[in-house]
Amino acid sequence: MKGTVIALDEVKGRKAAALIVDGKLDDFLIDPVDEAGPVPGAIYRATCDRPMKGQGGMFLRLPDGQKGFLRAAKGLAPGQPLLVQTTGWSEEGKAPSVTPKVLFKSRYAIVTPEAPGINISRSVKDDEDRVRLLEIAHEVMEATYFGLIVRSEASHGSDDDVAADIAAMRDLAIAVMSDAEGREPELLVDGADAHDIAWRDWPTPEVLDDRDGSFERHNVDDMIHTLASPRVGLGADGFAYIEPTRALVAVDVNTGGDNSPAAGLKSNIALAKDLPRQLRCRGLGGQITLDLAPMGKKDRRTFEQALKSAFRRDPVETVLAGWTPLGHFELQRKRDRLPVKL
């Protein structure tokens, strides 16, 4: 089926969302199990606990006995209350990273209390749209000193919907910022669930199916079943294995039965083009090491160009670190979701 479909459903009682593009799973979200820890985007009133000597960081006390870690804690003292937001999922046994620069993000708007000024996403190219959105933004935000980023999706929204969305984030920011002076740790805004993130961050589809059984109707159950296998086909005879370990995600590329001189480069480029989608759908992040199929050093630049092009369109922040002395290629990817476990 051509076009874009968003299906919202549940898997074993956990909310899940699937983005399908031209009949292929392009992104997949599922709520974590209850004991997964603080959700990315959650906003807390925390209490400074103890500094990390020599590193400039500070451990924070969160509610329910949880901990957070602030990397830059200059000028903070134990016992001091602080408003923070989690920035990603933590590794097992580690406190999640937090930032004092909280954001209030919705489908059309991001309110930035610590960064005044009104800005329109650079993805909005039409001058009339930019003027329209600026007028709405200034009218809604004129009574506050908070900053605002109007997201690209706002160019497709009606004036009333955009204004209402901005106003909702403005009011939430005012309420939370005014509640930052309490002494005890408290969860002030919970992180978004899978359905909320899909509504907030995915583009408007041709088909939105949020009725019970949507996964079965759009074959999502079969699509996500393949995520349980580490093996990924790369066309022709090539294949790869994507396997998360405690330290990193290992990606092993093979040419299969293709013994032609260009087999290694073909398989590596096929992997490069599909890797962002595979990592998104599998919920993988952190350090990623690619053990590529054999190819000449002269072909490395071609591979890098294919990899950069693929990740340029990927919404998850990823750093292409480069080659190791052993000829592996390394990436560092933000942990904005947990590995998919069905």
In three-state secondary structure terms, 15 is strand
CB 42 within 8 A of CB 191: yes
Residues whose CB is less than 8 angstroms from the CB of residue 72 and which lie 6 or more positions away in sequence, other chains included: 56, 57
Nearest to 267 by CA among 286, 239, 246, 290: 239
Give helix then strand counts, H and E, for the chain.
Answer: 7, 20
- Note the CATH number of domain 229-333: 3.40.630
Residues whose CB is less than 8 angstroms from the CB of residue 221 and which lie 6 or more positions away in sequence, other chains included: 215
What pLDDT does 342 receive?
Answer: 74
Residues whose CB is less than 8 angstroms from the CB of residue 216 and which lie 6 or more positions away in sequence, other chains included: none
What pLDDT does 95 receive?
Answer: 87
Q: What distance in Å separates the CA atoms of residue 251 and residue 272, rounded to the nearest whole number?
A: 11
What pLDDT does 192 receive?
Answer: 94
Residues of the chain with CATH 3.30.230.10: 105-177
Q: What distance in Å separates the CA atoms of residue 105 and residue 173, rounded to the nearest whole number?
A: 10
CB 332 within 8 A of CB 287: yes
Q: Greatest CA separation found in the chain? A: 68
Using alpha carbons, list the distances in angstroms from residue 146 to 65, 103, 132, 169, 190: 32, 11, 20, 11, 21
What pLDDT does 253 receive?
Answer: 96
DSSP string, 48-110: EEEEETTTTEEEEE-GGG-EEEES--TT--TT-EEEEEE-SPPPTTSPPEEESS--EE-SSEE
Residues of the chain with CATH 3.40.630: 229-333
Stretches where the chain sits below pLDDT 50 are none
In three-state secondary structure terms, 161 is helix
Beta bridge partners of 81: 47
Q: What distance in Å separates the CA atoms of residue 211 and residue 217, rounded to the nearest whole number?
A: 10
What pLDDT does 209 receive?
Answer: 97
Q: Which one is the CATH code of 36-99: 3.30.70.360, 2.40.50.140, 2.130.10.10, 3.30.450.20?
A: 2.40.50.140
Residues of the chain with CATH 2.40.50.140: 36-99
Lookup: tokens for 59 = 């451990």
- Name the pTM for this structure: 0.89
Residue 340: half-sphere exposure toward Cβ, Cα within 13 Å = 27
CB 284 within 8 A of CB 242: yes
In three-state secondary structure terms, 179 is coil
In three-state secondary structure terms, 329 is strand
Using alpha carbons, list the distances in angstroms from residue 40 to 86, 87, 184, 233: 5, 5, 21, 32
Q: Phi and psi (nearest 5°) for 300? A: -60, -40
What pLDDT does 258 receive?
Answer: 80
Q: Which one is the CATH code of 105-177: 3.90.550.10, 3.30.230.10, 3.90.1570.10, 3.30.465.10?
A: 3.30.230.10
What pLDDT does 260 receive?
Answer: 85
Q: What distance in Å separates the CA atoms of residue 176 and residue 168, rounded to the nearest whole number?
A: 12
